[in-house]
Structure 1
Amino acid sequence: MKTKFFALALAASLFLNSCSSSDDPTPAPTPASGEITGPITANKTYAYGNYTLKGIVKINSGVTVTFDAGSTITIDKATGDNALVVLNGGKLIINGTADKPVVFTEKSKLPGSWGGIIMYGDAPAKVAGGGTSSTSEDGNNISYGGTNATHNGGSLNYVRVEYAGAKLADGQKENNAFTFYSVGSGTTLDHLVAYKGADDGFEFFGGTVSMTNAISYGNYDDAFDWQDGWQGTANTNWYAYQTGKGNYGMEIEASANDNAFGPKVTNITLKREAGNVPEVGDNQVDAFQFKREGNGEYSNIIVDGYGNFTTGTTTYKGSVVSILDAATNTHQVNTGKIKILNVKISNTTNVIPVAANDTFTVSFPTGTFTTSTTATGASLTTGAWATVDGASLIK
């Protein structure tokens, strides 16, 4: 009898201990840490953690660099020029998630404090003068352009770049949060946030890559910008919120080449907060601005807040669409190469396309500019990836 009672007690004890251990929560992983410098010459994975990035860190050709979900990479402008650069042939893999994005930020939290993420490829470009290659204007002075339409520079998923827009070295202009030079269609750009930079949120210089689920918030220049014959056609869910200081919602040009092709973007929201002023107090106050033969098809759009801007005795026209030059009007508008379809407009002064000056008249062909009361614009899910300091970026 004693033996039976002992066996039962032992079994009960083992059962309770088993239950207790299985119910214990899995401890959170300890964040890694370290300094990221370059050039990076061998494959490297940065586990979940908190890192600092110092200098112009270049990922060499043939090298893959991976960042795990939830990581934060901090830059300090006091250290000098800083940027993360993916050279042609290199790959950047960022495995963020909606609740654990990978965030690149800067210590001072001031726009224009570092150079952002810059990626190079050898996808086709068509630059000024009709050439197929050019040299980057970002201070790196790297050639871009080629014939590899499916170039693969990696995959950027759930990534936020904050406070970028600095000039690097003797660069001709500020860099953007994200800059893509001849990046190809094999590259994935999904759920990206450009937050409070001193230049554009996103800029494409040629290439065939497309971008999905993108937010440009509070950038000083344009929310979205491209040139050199960018021809991504699978773009969707682009959201811009311009607050404080900012220029065009989209600045669209083709480097003065009358191309037979053009980009396509569906599901677009362009919002300009009341009181937002252009960067240098001029006429850059339109939702869509086309120049130098820019074209493309844009559909299911919300435009809100692009009213006139008055400075002193001068008033600049705020509009849904502005055509900057006569050549773009003749070759792109009049031939139907620009399509603005299903656009819902509010709080905007000029609700039909206008010329940026009085030397020509804009008249879109039937069916190439259409308005709607039911357009829905970008469809994005809120979450940590689109939240800064506890505030959602999706207004």
Structure 2
Amino acid sequence: MKKNLLSLFSLALALSLTLSSCSIEINDGDNGSGTVTTPGTTESVLSGSGTLSGTITKDILIKKGNYTLDGVVKVTNGATITIEAGAVFNAVTTKSSSLVILQDGKINAVGTASEPIVFTTANKQPGDWGGITLYGKAPIKAVNGLPQALSEDGNSVYYGGDDANHNSGTMKFVRVEYGGKKINDGTSETNSMTFYSVGAGTTLENLVSYKGTDDGFEFFGGTVSAKNLVAYGNYDDSFDWQDAWSGQNNTNWYAFQTGTGNFGMEIEASANVDNTAPKISNITLIRDANTNPEVAGSVEISAIQFKRQGTGIFSNVYISGYKNMGGKSAYAVLIQDAATETSQVNTGKVVVAPLTYLNSDNAGVWGYAFTPNGAKTFTNTATVTKVTLTPGAWATVDGVNLLAALQ
């Protein structure tokens, strides 16, 4: 036993998550397995295999390998979780497992196109686990313009701050599979990737949300921007935001809805008239044939919905496959309420152009859930092209190329 422990210490220096309730279960090949706790170390190292659980309060480095994510893992107390390219996490599905970066924590997860960082499950069923959540300190505007709100993810965390450039870390070439597990009340679900008041100093690039039971990506206020996003086969909306999210440098967002799916994009500003419209260049939304909304007969079959003062300036938008269903009409753009039309659409804070709308119903007009005051029309623009993304393992699941519809 002493020999085993000495080998463990020499291999990894100090393996633990320090003074918190968290521990790391280590498996190191020939030297056996065990649990090592070393309070007070400046950094823990997980080398090749093991279990991540509890609360992380000191820096931790997770090397390339295969790991178990057990329960809700929170990063806090100024700690950074650094994850190397090629690390794969299998989440425990018998509990509400998730990775949560709190406002005083940080993530540094940098994969590559050929060696992404993957969060998945052995069951491979939508809703198996909770997904990844980041909290930042950037401003929000919640209902009634409040600068703070209580999170919807079951963690009961108040989010919202005053640092527009706050940095929650970096995520590149990270894929989340089968997220959206139901939480506390048995009806609410987490998103595959959720960003609460995340600041513009945070880097989000080349991220995949695959077959989650809620939204693929959701932003609750904040100022962060995201590039090269893939939302594939998510049950609710592919992209969603509220609380006046205002990212200005977004590009290359791609959604492929298949089997079950609601809106391609659902947009609101929590009824705040005064909000800064986020900007996204290059959006491709494709709805596969025979894709149904979660609730039969629902209106949630359009590509982009704006409601509750939601705004957005979108350019180079390619939309395909949105068909009337269940007695409801599908549109490229659907405006849900007169207040949003009056205060946002008619003031130039809702723009979707140039736009191409193919293989879809109700071409040439925006949809309205009321009698509009100046209904919008559009002409398909031939120069609009689909999003271009780097191919590779980062966008391939079980042999399926998630980017195939872009070719």
Q: Where on the TM-score scale, by shorter chain, does this alignment land: which range? A: 0.7 to 0.9
Instruction: Quote the offset at 1:260 in angstroms.
Output: 4.2
| TM-score, normalised by the number of residues in structure 2 | 0.85
1:1-395 superposed matches below 5 A: 32-78=48-94, 80-170=95-185, 173-281=188-296, 282-310=298-326, 315-361=327-373, 363-364=375-376, 371-394=380-403, 395=405
- Checking the alignment, whether the CA contact within 8 Å between 1:325 and 1:355 is kept in structure 2 is no
Alpha-carbon spacing, 1:150–1:171, altered in 2? closer, same or farther (3 Å): farther
Distance 1:269 1:209 in 2: 20
AA of the residue aligned to 1:40: I
Instruction: Quote the offset at 1:81 in angstroms.
Output: 1.2
| TM-score, normalised by the number of residues in structure 1 | 0.88
Instruction: Quote the offset at 1:358 in angstroms.
Output: 4.0
Greater mean alpha carbon deviation, residues 160-169 or residues 271-280: 160-169
Greater mean alpha carbon deviation, residues 244-253 or residues 334-343: 334-343
Alpha-carbon spacing, 1:171–1:208, altered in 2? closer, same or farther (3 Å): farther
Identity %: 51
Distance 1:387 1:42 in 2: 33
- Checking the alignment, whether the CA contact within 8 Å between 2:244 and 2:275 is kept in structure 1 is no
Distance 1:44 1:128 in 2: 37
Distance 1:89 1:41 in 2: 10
- Checking the alignment, whether the CA contact within 8 Å between 1:237 and 1:377 is kept in structure 2 is no
SS in 1 for 2:61: strand
Distance 1:123 1:378 in 2: 29
Instruction: Quote the offset at 1:376 in angstroms.
Output: 1.1
AA of the residue aligned to 2:50: G
Distance 1:162 1:362 in 2: 42
- Checking the alignment, whether the CA contact within 8 Å between 1:138 and 1:171 is kept in structure 2 is no
Distance 2:72 2:220 in 1: 20
Distance 2:374 2:92 in 1: 47
Greater mean alpha carbon deviation, residues 336-345 or residues 351-360: 351-360
- Aligned residues, how many? 358
Deviations 1:370-394 (A, max 9, x none): 6311201311121100001111101
Distance 1:362 1:211 in 2: 33
Distance 1:198 1:175 in 2: 8
Deviations 1:215-240 (A, max 9, x none): 00000000000000100010000000
Distance 1:68 1:288 in 2: 36
Distance 1:138 1:352 in 2: 38
Counterpart in the other structure of 1:9:
none
AA of the residue aligned to 1:45: L
Distance 1:143 1:264 in 2: 26
AA of the residue aligned to 2:399: G
Higher Cα radius of gyration: 1
Deviations 1:273-293 (A, max 9, x none): 010011112110111100000
Gaps of 5+ in 1: 1-30
Alpha-carbon spacing, 1:362–1:244, altered in 2? closer, same or farther (3 Å): farther
